[in-house]
Amino acid sequence: MTLSLNTAYIGLGSNLSEPITQVQNAIKAIEKIPHSQVTQVSSLYLSKPMGPQDQDDYINAVLALETPLTPLELLDALQTIENKAGRVRKDNRWGARILDLDIILFSNEVINSERLTIPHYGMCEREFVLLPLAEISPDLVLPNGESVKLLSQNIANNAMVKLG
């Protein structure tokens, strides 16, 4: 029996406890999700925090994952990885964090539920999502018809730095 695969794009971010190591470990953990395969990983980027500026800069990346999981099953798997890394969910939405894993896109689906919004609600305003996404999938078109390449060309990079 062949499993039907969906392509999910996942944003990764960290600014605590050796952020580069946190993101690299998260990529390794995502590679271990059963029946799923990481097909592309962007470079790592150093970016300014989105919320309060009294926190360290972030390390960000985006990866593409082929998976038979449903969006909510994938969300559960990613939250398990976050929790194992020591993520503590706080009321402070844009505060510092050990690890943040967000489903940016899931095939061409549009989901607005209590637990999950796809496409990710802030992706078009976030250089740390758009630029790594355009790096690995420049010809991608969002469910609303917008081009990732065009969006990435029109966003300010806010002094974001591509690492090695």
Which of 97, 115, 126, 139 does the annotation list as catalytic? 97
Confidence band of 1 (pLDDT split at 50, 70, 90): low
Q: What is the pLDDT of residues 78-132, one digit of tens each?
A: 999 998 987 666 655 566 778 999 999 999 999 999 999 999 988 999 999 999 9
- One-letter amino acid for residue 96 of the chain: A
Which of 54, 57, 87, 126 does the annotation list as catalytic? 87
Query: In sequence order, what DSSP letters do the residues of 17-64 get, joined into one string?
Result: SSHHHHHHHHHHHHHTSTT-EEEEEPPEEEE--SS-SSSPPEEEEEEE
**Sequence spans of domains, the chain:** 6-163
6-163 to CATH, choices 3.30.300.20, 3.30.70.560, 3.40.50.300, 3.30.1330.10? 3.30.70.560
Which of 54, 100, 115, 126 does the annotation list as catalytic? 100
Q: What is the pLDDT of residues 20-76, one digit of tens each?
A: 999 999 999 999 999 999 999 999 999 998 777 778 899 999 999 999 999 999 999
Structure tokens at 75: 């969300």
For this structure, is 126 an active site residue? no
Report pTM. 0.93
For this structure, is 115 an active site residue? no
For this structure, is 102 an active site residue? yes
Which of 56, 57, 89, 102 does the annotation list as catalytic? 102
For this structure, is 97 an active site residue? yes
End-to-end CA distance of the chain: 41
